[in-house]
Amino acid sequence: MVTRFLLFFVCLLIFVTTESLLVNITILESAVAKGAVCLDGTPPAYHLDRGSGPGVNNWVISLEGGGWCQNVTLCLTRKNTRLGSSAKMDHQLPFSGMMSNDPNFNPEFYNWNRVSVRYCDGGSFTGDVEAIDPGTGLHYRGARIFKAIMEELLAQGMNTSQNAILSGCSAGGLATILHCDNFGTLLPNNAKVKCFSDAGYFIHLNDISGQPYIEHYFNDVVTLHGSAKNLPPSCTSKLKPGLCFFPENVAQQIKTPLFIINAAYDHWQVRNILVAPGTDPKGAWKSCKSNIKNCTPYQLTVLQGLREDFLKALEGLGRSSTRGYYINSCFSHCQSQQQAYWFGLNSPRLFNKTIAEAVRDWFLETDQYRHIDCPYPCDKTCVDATDIITSQHI
């Protein structure tokens, strides 16, 4: 009897922990008339799960990530994928972590209106080139997509928000920083509006061969997408536009409260920026890139240097108490929408708080959360990358 009950309970637990909410897509056809389109000219899209009860006037908007395309060839390879065309997107998207509708998994935001904005422009929602590329039919219109989707959400009820958060992860986390004040100005004056960037704090660093790969890369993105006019003017008035894609150069001027979640050893930055394409011809970094536990002592020294560089770049946030941060020492990327990282018994903790608790305290202003983890390998609360469901759109 007892074993049968236990078995039932275990099955129930498995069911509960693997069940995930699927939210239908909305294709915003009306955006086409505004020229707000994906790389291939199809309309942009979002997924909305309506809030309820006390959360009915609260909104959390999440901008999807997925890297960038910095030249025509690479944008063309996206054109027939979900990252370049709404015709190729899944009709349903799993909502978990900060997007979950279950109070056991997402205690603070589960009953808010939760929106995932699909990423199909390849330029962190900053592009705006009027001309369509004649040879390829490519459109660079990310900033128009951002504007059109926000207009739609305002009309869907976001115009009467009491609380609103713009968030996003990776390229979407960077877009969150770059658009934070735009978002702030769209919402009612009496609303509490904040931005929360997850894994979007890309730093200006040299790769393992000593070259400024990411500086050239961001410069190419900004040039191709015509992003300059949509980057914060407080930065573009002083630095060349490509440099204004780096959070460290724009964050201090942002007026809307901003929270940064990032791993100091962000594995996307390690795999794609630190060990830049072509810098590891013999594959010496292959094993270390896949899991920090496999790194040699020399490679760990390089990664500790990355952490130092990251913390220095983080000073770009300035001292304002409106800007908080949660910098853990996990080897991770995009933690807020993965349940195992966001909130659970075994989720990472920093100063004894899960990411969900830190974001809640920062949003409610019960704690101006600003904490940095001790260097790897001291944090024993990190979730092993292999525990993570990888099917998520990150």
Residues that bind ligand NAG (CB under 6 A): 24, 71-74, 155, 159-160, 352
266 in catalytic set: yes
Nearer to ligand NAG, 197 or 335 (CB): 335
146 token code pair: 């951002």
Q: State in angstroms the smallest separation of the CB of 370 from ligand NAG.
A: 18
Contact present, 194 and 257 (Cβ < 8 Å): yes
* Residues 75/69, Cβ–Cβ less than 8 Å: yes
CB 179 within 8 Å of CB 227:
no
**Location of structure tokens 């013999």:** 282
Q: Say which residue the tokens 């056991």 belong to.
A: 104
Q: Which two tokens stand for residue 344?
A: 């659970």
In the complex, what is the shortest distance from the CB of residue 233 to ligand NAG, in angstroms, rounded to a whole number?
27
Asked whether 145 and 30 are in contact (CB, 8 A), the reply is: no
Residue of 266, 267, 336, 393 with catalytic role: 266
Nearer to ligand NAG, 146 or 217 (CB): 217
Beta carbon nearer to ligand NAG, 194 or 360: 360
Q: What is the nearest approach in angstroms of ligand NAG to the Cβ of residue 354?
A: 8
- Measure the CA–CA gap between 69 and 58, rounded to whole angstroms: 33
With a CB cutoff of 8 Å and minimum separation 6, the contacts of 170 are: 65, 66, 67, 198, 199, 200, 268, 333, 334, 394
Least distance between ligand NAG and beta carbon 328 (Å)? 15
Q: Which is nearer to ligand NAG, 13 or 72 (CB)?
A: 72
Q: Judged by CB, which is closer to ligand NAG: 131, or 155?
A: 155
Q: Which two tokens stand for residue 21?
A: 């909410």
Q: Residue 196 CB, nearest distance to ligand NAG (Å)? A: 21
Phi, then psi, of 5 in degrees rounded to 5? -65, -45
User: Residue 367: CB partners within 8 Å, gap ≥ 6?
Assistant: 358, 361
Which CB atom, from 273 or from 313, has the smaller least distance to ligand NAG? Answer: 273
CA angle 116, 120, 123 (to 5 degrees): 105
**Least separation in angstroms between CB 69 and ligand NAG:** 9
Q: Which of 62, 85, 170, 329 is catalytic?
A: 170
Q: Angle, to 10 degrees, between the axis of helix 171-186 and the axis of helix 142-155?
A: 50
In whole angstroms, how close is the CB of 24 to ligand NAG at the nearest point? 4
330 backbone dihedrals φ, ψ, rounded to 5° = -85, 160
Choose between 17 and 160: whose C-beta lies nearer to ligand NAG.
160
CB 84 within 8 A of CB 78: yes
Our answer to whether residue 96 is catalytic in this structure is no
Q: Which of 333, 336, 347, 393 is labelled catalytic?
A: 333
Instruction: Say whether 367 is catalytic.
Output: no
Query: In this structure, which amino acid lies at residue 185?
Result: T
Residue given tokens 């990472």 in the structure block: 348
CB atoms within 10 A of CB 37: 25
Active-site positions read: 170, 266, 333
